[in-house]
């Protein structure tokens, strides 16, 4: 299959979005940008199309998809009942990187939810994406547009690297401004519970709903979010995360780089700009090193350093607070070990 490459500069945008919307409606698989990462979309009401997304990614069938909507109304149409907090949360955070878990009605096919009674819904924030969803006219089920287990793609060329020839089209919307996947919040438990941390933080949520929000216990016997039990986001090189206490001292990092180099490894360093220039390591900059910059660049960095053929990637960790919770969640899931 030839994968159409749809550009979105001012002269092509309208036609590209129209084409992508038509393809989705007709049951094709189309990758599209969102503010978080690129999604691999299918018409959520078309079971065959949704099944093909699982197949193309190599995604385990028990890992449900997020349904993307262009308006909160479209999400309500999928629900059995609308949770009390839904209106408040949506007013504050939609469009945006917050996915809500709610009980679904009969409109939602089982393949989308992996047979669960609940469905994940989100209204993404990029103008191109909202336009696309609006024109498609049906909700779009979409996981991230990578091969299962690989780092999520944050630009169209990363999508191509994984899926060229396997999907109908890629809509290129440039680089994703957030860079990591949405916060997933379960609204069906007695106390709202974060199943996956993202850039909408626990504190952000608690401020709006004026009550407690929990983090799901990742070690629970039955993972609340099926996706959490799989290894994720991993580069081909082995990733070593330097724990934040040590990462503060440049000498610990320099020692770690030197040790890997002397063991004959090609080393990649994924670190704030200020740490550039350590030995012979390939370098990918995490900008000013704030949690927001980490989030925006970590997946691109893992892919870029892989492409340079390094054997080991070293990355200094950051404090797990605020957006740092989500950044460290992704880094540690991708990592082989932490020092
Ligand atoms: P992805 O789209 O690949 O970033 O993954 C979406 C995440 O949301 C995965 O961790 C899923 O397991 C999770 N998810 C999707 N639907 C549900 C649901 N109904 N209940 C709990 N978690 C869900
Ligand atoms: Mg994913």
Residue 154's pLDDT band (cuts 50, 70, 90): very high
227, 234, 326, 334: residue to mutate for ligand 1 pocket, most atoms within 8 A of CB: 227
| pLDDT at res. 260 | 85
* pTM score over 0.85: yes
Task: At 44, give phi and psi (nearest 5°).
Answer: -65, -20
Q: What percent of the chain has pLDDT over 90?
A: 82
* Number of other CB atoms surrounding residue 304 within 10 Å: 18
| pLDDT at res. 245 | 76
SS3 letters across 165-201: CCCCEEECCCCCCCCCCCEEEECCCCCCEEEECCCCC
pLDDT in tens, 260-308: 888 888 999 999 998 888 778 899 999 999 999 999 999 999 999 999 9
| pLDDT at res. 81 | 95
Enumerate residues lining ligand 1, CB below 6 A.
Answer: 63-66, 101, 113, 116, 118-120, 143-144, 181, 184, 195-196, 225-228
Question: What tokens does 193 get?
Answer: 């519970």
Residue 227's pLDDT band (cuts 50, 70, 90): low
124, 145, 152, 225: residue to mutate for ligand 1 pocket, most atoms within 8 A of CB: 225
| pLDDT at res. 89 | 98
Q: How far is the CA of 184 from the centre of ligand 1 (A)?
A: 7
Least confident of 131-145, 232-246, 290-304: 232-246
When the pLDDT of each residue in the chain is averaged and rounded to a whole number, the result is 93
Is residue 256 predicted with pLDDT exceeding 90? no
* Number of other CB atoms surrounding residue 262 within 10 Å: 9
Q: How far is the CA of 66 from the centre of ligand 2 (A)?
A: 10
Instruction: Specify whether the CB–CB gap between 218 and 184 falls below 8 A.
Output: no
Question: What tokens does 305 get?
Answer: 């350093």
Write the CA distances from 310 to 69, 149, 306, integer angstroms: 40, 19, 6
Only one residue has tokens 């609340």, namely 224
271-297 in b/e form (b: 16+ CB < 10 A) is bbeebeebeebbbbbbeebebbbbbbb
Residues spanned by CATH 3.40.50.11030 within the chain? 238-334
| pLDDT at res. 149 | 87
Element (H, E) at 307: helix 291-307
Residues spanned by CATH 3.90.870.10 within the chain? 4-215
CATH class of 4-215: alpha beta
CATH of span 238-334: 3.40.50.11030
3-state SS class at 114:
coil
Query: What region, left, alpha or beta, does residue 228 occupy, with left being phi > 0 and alpha being psi -120 to 50 degrees?
Result: alpha
């Amino acid at each position: 299959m030839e994968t159409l490459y749809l550009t979105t500069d001012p002269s092509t945008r309208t036609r590209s979005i129209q084409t992508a919307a038509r393809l989705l409606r007709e049951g094709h698989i189309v990758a599209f940008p969102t503010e978080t990462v690129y999604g691999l979309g299918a018409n959520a009401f078309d079971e065959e199309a949704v099944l093909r997304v699982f197949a193309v990614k190599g995604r385990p069938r028990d890992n449900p998809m997020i349904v993307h909507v262009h308006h909160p109304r479209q999400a309500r149409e999928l629900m059995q009942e609308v949770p009390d907090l839904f209106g408040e949360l949506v007013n504050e955070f939609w469009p945006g990187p917050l996915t809500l878990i709610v009980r679904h009605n009969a409109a939602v096919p089982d393949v989308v939810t992996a047979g669960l009674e609940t469905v994940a819904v989100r209204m993404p924030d990029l103008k191109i994406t909202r336009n696309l969803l609006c024109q498609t006219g049906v909700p779009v089920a979409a996981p991230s547009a990578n091969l299962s287990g690989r780092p999520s793609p944050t630009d169209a060329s990363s999508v191509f690297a994984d899926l060229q020839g396997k999907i109908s089209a890629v809509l290129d919307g440039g680089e994703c401004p957030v860079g990591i996947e949405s916060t997933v919040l379960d609204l069906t438990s007695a106390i709202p519970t974060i199943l996956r941390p993202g850039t909408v933080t626990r504190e952000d949520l608690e401020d709006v709903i004026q009550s407690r929000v929990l983090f799901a216990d990742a070690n629970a016997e039955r993972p609340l979010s099926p996706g959490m039990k799989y290894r994720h986001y991993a580069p081909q090189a082995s990733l070593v995360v330097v724990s934040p206490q040590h990462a503060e001292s440049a000498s610990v990092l320099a020692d770690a780089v030197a040790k890997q180099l002397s063991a004959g490894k090609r080393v990649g360093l994924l670190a704030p700009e200020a740490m550039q220039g350590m030995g012979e390591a390939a370098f990918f900059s995490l900008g000013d090193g704030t949690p927001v910059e980490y989030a925006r660049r970590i997946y691109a960095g893992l892919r870029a350093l892989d492409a340079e053929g390094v054997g080991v990637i070293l990355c200094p960790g950051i404090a797990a607070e605020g957006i740092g919770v989500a950044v460290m969640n992704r880094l540690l899931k991708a990592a082989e070990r932490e020092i």
